[in-house]
Structure 1
């Protein structure tokens, strides 16, 4: 070897490199600047995402505390109204009358319906829907007054409440109003 380069080999390498460079397509001279902008945007959005995740977690904790407090207060109030309802029903129907309030779904009291059960003297314990009009009215009055005993209202309008009531029920109703 004389130290002379093999020009055909060099030309083949240069040709190969040109072909590979051409296959890459044109060079985007703004790519670095675009990358920096996108990286900054990505960083901003990542921060926004992290803030939203933190906020969601905090909100879920607040909602949980509110639900617990609401369930506690509902349970306390329901127990008081239930006790008052039983007493008020007996006052309106006599000592032999029985009534109760029952949650339809005790596992989820805030979403549960409430069943009103009543047993006027001489009748079976049954749903309020099976009572006569007068019995339903008096049961509704017992429930309404049992709620007012917990949370009084400055006034209450009872329009034609006495219409389905017979004389003895009217007298008991008036007696309750007078106290």
Structure 2
């Protein structure tokens, strides 16, 4: 029965090793795709930023053109109204002058005869100087009104031409705004498509982390699973202390002992590190609360992992004894000297005296 279990375990190990090779190859493919996706997303983000800047400038120019257009229309309407008022005033004065002239002619003919000339077309109540003064005043008002209007806007045809030019510019900017909006929609759809690919890649990373976590725990005869909830941004993992006893499963790491919790955390960090591209990995007191067996397994596992990942450097800091580790070309041990302490148990700093 033991031999059968041993064969079954050997087959499982082979199957897991094959799955690991396949997963490693798949991770490399996904890493390549990830780099391309990052480059593309970066380029898309830059294009979107440039498009937003252009859109902002166009909107600002559009608002400016609308304000200028409104000012031009208001001035044209004001000039038209003023011109109509002046024409009405002139027409009224002309009508009054014709009426006064008709009265003067009638008065002259009645008193001097039909053949009498009419040298002065001025009523008796008003003098000729009065009308000259009125005419000069009207001429002065006309001159002042023309001077209040800019020289390039006194001609209605010029103003209408400028208005048409502003409208053409406005339509052009509006067409550019539509094109930019279409480009933004296209870029948004592309981002959504790539986001779906990224979520698929994230799911694959989660599955690979689970596989690696389980492989690491089985080095100590345990098993477990990592649960990553990307929506709620939570992370939990369960550990089965004996992979042959389902009743030994622990759903919360708080129920584990200190050494078991340290080894489970180390297993998770190793599993997660396979999906990271950081060239350095530093672990401080990773073997805290571990017993000698767990420390030996953890050290062998970290050294093995460091030799597999040759393009990354592992830095392990521990106050424990490392006499069981054999130095090699790729394994260096730096031991710091013990601190000097006084008999009273306190340390004294040596200051230079003048």
Aligned residue pairs, count: 152
RMSD: 3.5
Mean alpha-carbon deviation: is it higher for 169-178 or for 130-139? 130-139
Relative to structure 1, the CA distance from residue 104 to residue 162 in structure 2 (aligned partners, 3 Å threshold; closer, same or farther) is: same
2:85 corresponds to which of 17, 25, 28: 25
Assess if the C-alpha contact under 8 Å between 2:205 and 2:275 holds in 1: yes
Residue of structure 2 equivalent to 1:13:
none
1:107-165 CA distance string (max 9 Å, x none): xxxxx624332224234324x67766655554443333223323444331122333354
Matched, 1:125 2:185: no
Alignment partner of 2:233 out of 113, 123, 135: 113
Q: Which residue of 2 aligns with 1:85?
A: 210
Relative to 1, partners in 2 of residues 1:136 and 1:67: Cα closer, same or farther, differing over 3 Å? farther
Aligned: 1:76 with 2:201: yes
- In the alignment, structure 1 residue 142 sits paired with structure 2 residue 262: no
1:54 aligns with 2:114: no
Contact 1:134/1:166 (CA < 8 Å) preserved in 2?
Answer: yes
Task: Please give the secondary structure, in 2, of the residue aligned with 1:156.
Answer: strand
Q: Does 1:40 align with 2:160?
A: no
- Which of 203, 224, 228 lines up with 1:102 in the alignment? 228
Which is higher, the Rg of structure 1 or of structure 2?
A: 2
Q: TM-score by structure 2 length?
A: 0.35
TM-superposed deviation, 1:30? 3.6
| Distance (Å, rounded) in 2 between the aligned partners of 1:54 and 1:32 | 33
* Structure 2 unaligned spans of 5+: 1-80, 88-148, 242-247, 305-354
Give the distance between the partners of 2:297 and 2:86, measured in 1 at CA. 98
Q: Indicate if the aligned counterparts of 1:86 and 1:100 stay in contact, CA closer than 8 A.
A: no
Q: Which residue is equivalent to 1:17? A: none
Query: RCO higher in 1 or 2 (8 Å CA, sep ≥ 6)?
Result: 1
Report if the CA contact (8 A) 2:213-2:226 is conserved. no
Change (3 A) 1:48 1:87: same
Q: Distance in 2 between matches of 1:84 and 1:148?
A: 9
| TM-score, structure 1 as length reference | 0.61
- Which SS does the other structure have where 1:161 is aligned? coil
Counterpart CA distance in 2 for 1:150 and 1:50 is 47
Q: Which moved more, 1:162-171 or 1:46-55?
A: 162-171
Instruction: Please name the residue that 2:53 is paired with.
Output: none
Contact 2:259 2:291 in 1 (8 A): yes
**Does residue 300 of structure 2 align to residue 175 of structure 1?**
yes
Unmatched tracts of structure 1, length 5 or more = 1-20, 106-111
